[in-house]
Amino acid sequence: MGSSSNGYSVFLLLFAVVVATASASNFYQDFDLTWGDNRAKIFNGGQLLSLSLDQASGSGFQSKKEYLFGRIDMQLKLVAGNSAGTVTAYYLSSQGSTHDEIDFEFLGNLSGDPYILHTNVFTQGKGNREQQFYLWFDPTRNFHTYSIIWTARHIIFLVDNVPIRLFKNAESMGVPFPKNQPMRIYSSLWNADDWATRGGLVKTDWSKAPFTAYYRNFRANSSTPTSSFPDSTFQTQELDSYSRRRLRWVQKNFMIYNYCTDLKRFPQGVPAECKRSRFNL
């Protein structure tokens, strides 16, 4: 263990730092802060972004680029403490009345009570495809990775690389699928105490404001709409049997609402894409 091996370690360390920096996201480059004035902030040289909410306003940001298919990862650390009434929305959306949309929404709660992760998929302007989950960890203590894999065949929602929801292309059954309209990435932190926490029963405690959520390590592997063909790896990426087991584990143990089993809401029968199987696999 002489100085030359130390020198080599230092070299390796520097090399690792350079590589990490080169591949890291930069929020200045990839996103615009769109509302809430200085409640939305980028810091640490573009490595970290925060949104906050007070009684006067929430805040939000959106991607500069549009995406058509790809895998999009973001790490979020949600509003800690008493976050009841707050909603952190993180989603992809195209524009207009027949827009497509892929949603993660995090509904806050009283200290110690679980967040709800609310998901939805809109196609051609029509949503009503909610699935809700509890998480298997406290999403306010650390950063966790929330991802969307969007191909022409399916949309997969993942949490820390565990698939929680699969929305398959069911065009053969007459269900529109998002595949022509490029989407931007959006996020906002806002007050929804008229519905979010137990249907609006629990109100936002403004004495705890400002409420703050943090974002880091954005990564997107995507063909931009200008390139003629999406990356072929995304076209073939399927859930392997391990991922299917993980998906079933989440749906069995953490899913608290599934539109596909809400017969009261769909007395005429659940939507066509639900009919494939019990778990909507």
Picking from 109, 71, 119, 78, the residue whose alpha carbon sits closest to that of residue 219 is 71
What are the phi and psi torsion angles at 168 (to 5°)?
-85, 150
210 sits near ligand NAG (criterion: CB under 6 A): no
Residue 134 CB, nearest distance to ligand NAG (Å)?
Answer: 7
Residue 185 CB, nearest distance to ligand NAG (Å)?
Answer: 13
Residue 174 CB, nearest distance to ligand NAG (Å)?
Answer: 31
Range in contact with ligand NAG (rule: CB under 6 A) among 29-37, 106-114, 205-213, 235-243? 106-114
* Residue selected from 54, 57, 65, 114 as contacting ligand NAG according to rule CB under 6 A: 114
Roughly how many angstroms between the first and final C-alpha of the chain, as a whole number? Answer: 55
203 sits near ligand NAG (criterion: CB under 6 A): no
43 or 195: CB nearest ligand NAG? 195
145 sits near ligand NAG (criterion: CB under 6 A): no
Q: List CB contacts of 39: < 8 A, sequence separation 6 or more.
A: 51, 52, 53, 54, 57, 58, 59, 210
Range in contact with ligand NAG (rule: CB under 6 A) among 96-104, 196-204, 247-255, 259-267? 196-204
Q: How many CB atoms lie within 10 A of CB 234?
A: 18
Range in contact with ligand NAG (rule: CB under 6 A) among 13-21, 46-54, 110-118, 161-169? 110-118
Q: How many CB atoms lie within 10 A of CB 6?
A: 10
Residues between 215 and 274 that touch ligand NAG (CB under 6 A): 219, 221
CA distance 258 to 198: 17
29 or 95: CB nearest ligand NAG? 29
Residues annotated as catalytic are: 101, 105
107 sits near ligand NAG (criterion: CB under 6 A): yes
212 sits near ligand NAG (criterion: CB under 6 A): no
Q: How many CB atoms lie within 10 A of CB 238?
A: 10
Range in contact with ligand NAG (rule: CB under 6 A) among 49-57, 74-82, 111-119, 272-280? 111-119
57 sits near ligand NAG (criterion: CB under 6 A): no
DSSP state of 138: -
CA distance 13 to 82: 40
Distance of CA 131 to the CA centre of its chain: 13
Q: How many CB atoms lie within 10 A of CB 191?
A: 20
113 sits near ligand NAG (criterion: CB under 6 A): yes
Radius of gyration of the chain, Cα coordinates, nearest whole angstrom: 20
92 sits near ligand NAG (criterion: CB under 6 A): no
CA distance 61 to 64: 10
Picking from 240, 204, 241, the residue whose alpha carbon sits closest to that of residue 58 is 204
109 sits near ligand NAG (criterion: CB under 6 A): yes
Residues binding ligand NAG (CB under 6 A): 71, 73, 107, 109, 113-114, 116, 196-198, 219, 221
